[in-house]
């Protein structure tokens, strides 16, 4: 085997945890894969795996080498896919997992994508559950927050800002808070994360000596759409992302509160499995969403998003 084949044998073995599984993926015998990895270790002068009769584990040096080699092979796969895409039209079923709230961003641009790539059939799964892309066969997903799974490739997309909002009718009944301390006694509508069950903290910056908030949580839900609806209905104060609040703010159905005391930037990412070739259908979707859908900055209250060409 040449050096590239040795790297492939090592990376697939590390990804899948055995010579047998790696050989099945590469179309080789387990013995051939094992010999290729051993030869690579000899060339490097470093043991990459700790072997026993029952397990195969990466050494510390092997883990570091694995990450670098996997990026190299992913880049090579991307280059091959790019060349293939110059002759093959992107086609096939594209499975996309995305948070429920993101339909506000995604659906308006999908007609353009489907017109541009008519041979791609888009299968959208709007779900706040933390989907395992590899186990569930998802091609690409949109997620917010940190992405700890090292098996995934990611492209950072739209930044957003969390906003504290209330309906004018609610503020007329309960008053408009001018500082965090004024929130004492107000009604809170709180978001519960679907995966962990934890209640979202309001992203208020408290000065030294300021007491913790003592709001009354009158409603908890695990869906941002429901939280927005309850806030517009005047049930209390809710915290939501800027793109979700944009329309009701523009119509006067919501007002923002304590803008100068909120610091909660976030961002979306497109992710896809790193051990899967970036096929033409995935590449064009990633490029389209990255270039067409997301702006490059957060929107502050009162701003209007610049039109896209």
Residue 167's pLDDT is what? 97
Q: Convert 137-159 to b/e letters by CB count within 10 Å (16 or more is b).
A: ebbbbbbbeeeeeeebbeeebbb
Question: Is it the case that residue 70 has pLDDT exceeding 50?
Answer: yes
CATH of 3-73, one of 1.10.10.10, 3.30.390.50, 3.40.190.10, 1.20.1050.140: 1.10.10.10
pTM: 0.59
Q: List, for residues 201-212, the tens digit of each pLDDT value.
A: 888 887 766 667
Distance CA 82, CA 256 (A): 45
Distance CA 23, CA 10 (A): 11
CATH number of the structural domain 161-264: 3.40.190.10
HSE of 61, CA atoms in CB hemisphere, 13 A:
8
Evaluate whether 92-159+266-293 and 161-264 have a shared fold: yes
Residue 117's pLDDT is what? 92
Give the range among 54-63, 110-119, 163-172, 276-285 with minimum mean pLDDT: 276-285
> Do the beta carbons of residue 270 and residue 141 sit within 8 Å?
yes
Would you list the DSSP string of the chain? --HHHHHHHHHHHHHHSSHHHHHHHHTS-HHHHHHHHHHHHHHHTS--EEE-SS-EEE-HHHHHHHHHHHHHHHHHHHHHHHHHHTTS---EEEEEEE-GGGHHHHGGGHHHHHHH-TTEEEEEEE--S---HHHHT-SEEEEES----TTEEEEEEEEEEEEEEE-HHHHHHH---SSGGGGTT-EEEEEB-TTT-PBPPP-B-PPTTPPPP--EEEEEES-HHHHHHHHHTTSSEEEEEHHHHHHHHHHTS-EE--GGGB--EEEEEEEEETTS---HHHHHHHHHIIIII--SSPPPTT--PPPP-
Residue 38's pLDDT is what? 92
In Å, how far from its chain's centre is CA 293?
Answer: 15
What confidence category does residue 306 fall into, taking pLDDT thresholds of 50, 70 and 90? very low
CATH number of the structural domain 92-159+266-293: 3.40.190.10
Question: Is it the case that residue 33 has pLDDT exceeding 50?
Answer: yes
Domain coordinates of the chain in residue numbers? 3-73, 92-159+266-293, 161-264
Question: Is it the case that residue 305 has pLDDT exceeding 60?
Answer: no
Question: Is it the case that residue 276 has pLDDT exceeding 80?
Answer: no
């Amino acid at each position: 085997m040449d050096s590239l084949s040795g790297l492939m044998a090592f990376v697939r073995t590390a990804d899948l945890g055995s010579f047998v599984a790696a050989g099945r993926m590469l179309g080789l015998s387990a013995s051939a894969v094992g010999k290729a990895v051993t030869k690579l270790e000899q060339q490097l002068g470093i043991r990459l795996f700790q072997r026993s009769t029952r397990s195969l584990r990466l050494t510390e040096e092997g883990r570091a080498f694995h990450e670098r080699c996997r990026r190299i092979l992913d880049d090579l796969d991307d280059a091959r896919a790019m060349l293939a895409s110059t002759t093959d039209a992107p086609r096939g079923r594209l499975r996309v997992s995305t948070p429920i709230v993101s339909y506000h961003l995604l659906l308006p641009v999908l007609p353009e994508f489907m017109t541009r790539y008519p041979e791609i059939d888009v299968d959208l799964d709007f779900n706040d559950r933390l989907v395992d892309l590899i186990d569930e066969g998802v091609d690409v997903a949109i997620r917010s927050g940190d992405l700890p799974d090292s098996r995934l490739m990611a492209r950072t997309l739209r930044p957003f800002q969390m906003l504290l909002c209330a309906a004018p009718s609610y503020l007329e009944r309960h008053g408009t808070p001018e500082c965090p301390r004024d929130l004492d006694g107000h009604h809170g509508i709180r978001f519960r994360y679907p995966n962990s069950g934890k209640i979202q903290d309001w992203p208020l910056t408290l000065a030294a000596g300021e007491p913790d908030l003592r709001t009354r949580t009158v409603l908890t839900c695990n869906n941002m759409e429901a939280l927005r609806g309850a806030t517009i209905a005047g049930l209390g104060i809710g915290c939501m992302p800027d793109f979700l609040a944009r329309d009701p703010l523009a119509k006067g159905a919501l007002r923002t509160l304590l803008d100068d005391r909120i610091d909660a930037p976030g961002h979306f990412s497109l992710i896809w499995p790193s051990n899967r070739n970036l096929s033409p259908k995935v590449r064009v979707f990633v490029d389209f969403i990255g270039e067409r859908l997301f702006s490059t900055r957060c929107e502050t209250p009162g701003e209007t998003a610049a039109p896209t060409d």
